[in-house]
């Protein structure tokens, strides 16, 4: 039973890809660039 659950989780993780969406204002981009060291 646990082997089936583990196999199912592994197969799902291979198919799933995260989608990252960010809405940033002008001031946020300056702060982000400063934190990144750019």
The shares of helix, strand and coil residues in the chain, as percent rounded to the nearest 5, are 65, 0, 35
Question: Looking at residues 1-7, what average pLDDT do you find?
Answer: 68
Question: Looking at residue 8, what is its pLDDT?
Answer: 65
Query: Angle at the Cα of 9 (from 18 to 7), degrees rounded to 5?
Result: 140
Q: Closest by alpha carbon to 11, among 1, 3, 19?
A: 3
Average per-residue pLDDT for the chain: 75
pTM of the shown model: 0.31
Average pLDDT of the segment spanning 11-27: 76
1: pLDDT confidence band, cut at 50, 70 and 90? low
Compute the distance between CA of residue 20 and CA of residue 14 in angstroms, rounded to an integer.
17
**Confidence band for 30, pLDDT divided at 50, 70 and 90:** confident
Residue 25 tokens, joined: 């204002």
């Amino acid at each position: 039973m646990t082997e089936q659950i583990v196999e199912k989780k592994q197969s799902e993780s291979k198919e799933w890809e995260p989608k990252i969406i960010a809405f940033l204002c002008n001031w946020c981009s300056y702060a982000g660039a400063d934190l990144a060291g750019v």
